């Protein structure tokens, strides 16, 4: 019978070594995998921290910046336009402005963001005088701006008296002026010139000015408008219109536009800005990023363009890009939906990709961004007053024009801060920009 042979000791040694080596290799692979995961988490944390830090600094770029518009202002179609913009903090705020903002309560700062009708704060049917009721209302709601319409305008003495008293109340109560604004484009939209009780220059239309191809005429328009608006007591004119007519079916803009040539519109609008501001009245380029390519009227509902932002840069956006060089104190954001670039139907006025990504980051605009009237159906038919106001601020707007329900909107902003959906730092950035203009030009 054969006996089972035992393996010699020298054969067991290599096998043990192999097992040990394999164990070490497995341990190294496991540790390396863990380190890679740790490094990935660490890198993500660093990127988040850098993004957070950028939000505390100015993100202003050169006006001729090299950023691709897709990176700066939008996403591929299909992505939604959600989330707050990085906080765009102006780098040249005077210390006196910073000190004033620090001295204000949250309620006072929130009120400065609103540009409303006198009826919104007084609750009267049609305000034509400014008396004790106006003063009490302003004490409760020291808004940043008040806009006046035909119902408020009866004659020169009545209007100048009402505006003077309102301004006195504002400076007494808030310690800073209030913006007193009006739509006085020249032509069809002229609240003052359109009233037969005023003996001021009337213009046929801005299209007629554009057809002249004489930019000096555009400057004279701004100068003339400013001459009588300033005398009456206004300090803001919601003009000029910088929309380029790129769709022949457009009716909401029509002959309010200087024409169909983007460069001509840019030149004309820039000269109106200079004519207004050289003569003591702040200008407001509107309606960014361009309403001339739409068919729908945003007063009645959604207004769309089937172009991308890249395509709009060739025409509709040119007057704004060029107009910024004239240093307009305001730019008004329109309620135009750009689904091919934004990926959804978010109005431009509520889009951080348009207001912060494009207007601030790419074009380098550091003036006041104001929304078009938020009571227009393109916004009020979709969002509540509070929701629209908070979304606009998060997107990068500084001032909110005429929300559908001012008090609901105002309280909504305060609640958003209390709930952590909107930071006080974000509000401060806009209030600093607003007070910078008020204290430098109108105090």
* Catalytic entry in 261, 297, 299, 344: 299
Enter the tokens of residue 400: 């909110």
What whole-number distance in Å separates Cα of residue 30 and Cα of residue 27?
A: 5
* Residue that the structure tokens 């009267």 belong to: 124
Look at residues 429, 440, 441, 442 and name the one whose alpha carbon lies nearest to residue 368.
429
What whole-number distance in Å separates Cα of residue 349 and Cα of residue 356?
A: 11
CA dihedral 418, 421, 424, 429 (to 10 degrees): -160
Look at residues 246, 235, 251, 242 and name the one whose alpha carbon lies nearest to residue 166.
235
> Is the peptide bond preceding residue 78 cis, with omega within 30 degrees of 0?
no
What whole-number distance in Å separates Cα of residue 177 and Cα of residue 169?
A: 9
What phi, psi does 274 have (nearest 5°)?
A: -65, -40
- Is-catalytic flag, 287? no
**Is the CB of residue 334 less than 8 Å from the CB of residue 286?**
yes
* Catalytic entry in 183, 372, 398, 428: 372
**Is the CB of residue 422 less than 8 Å from the CB of residue 413?**
yes
Q: Exposed/middle/buried for 434, CB within 10 Å: 0-12, 13-18, 19+?
A: buried
What whole-number distance in Å separates Cα of residue 344 and Cα of residue 69?
A: 17
- Is-catalytic flag, 366? no
**Three-point CA angle 145, 148, 154, nearest 5°:** 145
DSSP 156-207: HHHHHHHHHHHHHHHHHHHSS--EEEE-B-SSSSBTTTTSTT------S-HH
Q: Which residues pair with 331 in a beta bridge?
A: 285, 369
Residues tagged active-site? 299, 372
């Amino acid at each position: 019978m054969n006996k089972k042979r035992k393996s010699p000791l020298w054969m067991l040694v290599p096998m043990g070594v192999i097992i040990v080596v394999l164990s070490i290799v497995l341990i190294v692979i496991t540790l390396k995998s863990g380190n890679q995961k740790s490094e990935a988490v660490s890198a993500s944390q660093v990127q988040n921290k850098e993004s957070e830090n950028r939000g505390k600094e100015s993100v202003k770029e050169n006006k001729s910046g090299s950023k691709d518009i897709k990176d700066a202002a939008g996403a591929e179609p299909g992505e939604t336009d959600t989330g707050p913009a990085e906080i765009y903090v102006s780098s040249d705020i005077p210390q006196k402005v910073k000190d004033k903002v620090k001295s204000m309560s949250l309620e006072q700062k929130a009120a400065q963001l609103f540009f409303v009708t006198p009826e919104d704060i007084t609750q009267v049917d049609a305000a034509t005088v400014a008396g004790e009721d106006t003063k009490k209302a302003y004490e409760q709601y020291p808004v940043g701006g008040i806009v006046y319409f035909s119902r408020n305008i009866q004659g020169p003495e009545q209007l100048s008296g009402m505006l003077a008293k309102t301004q006195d109340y504002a400076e007494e109560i808030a310690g800073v002026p209030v913006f007193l604004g009006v739509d006085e484009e020249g032509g069809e939209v002229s609240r003052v010139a359109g009233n037969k009780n005023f003996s001021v220059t009337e213009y046929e239309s801005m299209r007629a000015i554009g057809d002249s191809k004489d930019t000096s005429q555009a400057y004279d328009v701004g100068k003339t408008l400013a001459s009588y608006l300033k005398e009456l007591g206004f300090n803001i004119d919601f003009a000029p219109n910088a929309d380029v007519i790129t769709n022949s079916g457009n009716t909401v803009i029509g002959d309010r536009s200087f024409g169909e040539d983007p460069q001509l519109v840019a030149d004309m609008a820039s000269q109106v800005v200079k004519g207004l501001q050289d003569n003591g009245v702040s200008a407001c380029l509107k309606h960014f990023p361009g309403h001339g390519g739409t068919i729908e009227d945003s007063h009645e509902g959604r207004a769309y363009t089937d172009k991308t932002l890249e395509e709009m840069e060739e025409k509709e956006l040119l007057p704004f890009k060029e107009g910024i060089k004239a240093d307009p104190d305001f730019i008004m954001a329109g309620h135009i939906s750009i689904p091919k670039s934004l990926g959804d139907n978010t109005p431009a006025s509520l889009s951080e990709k348009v207001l912060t990504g494009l207007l601030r980051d790419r074009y380098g605009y550091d003036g006041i961004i104001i929304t078009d009237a938020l009571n227009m159906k393109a916004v009020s038919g979709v969002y509540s007053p509070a929701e629209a106001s908070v979304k606009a601020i998060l997107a990068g707007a500084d001032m909110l024009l005429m929300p559908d329900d001012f008090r609901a909107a105002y309280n909504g902003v305060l609640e958003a801060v209390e709930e952590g959906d909107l930071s006080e730092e974000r509000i401060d950035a806009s209030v600093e920009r607003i007070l910078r203009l008020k204290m430098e030009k109108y105090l």
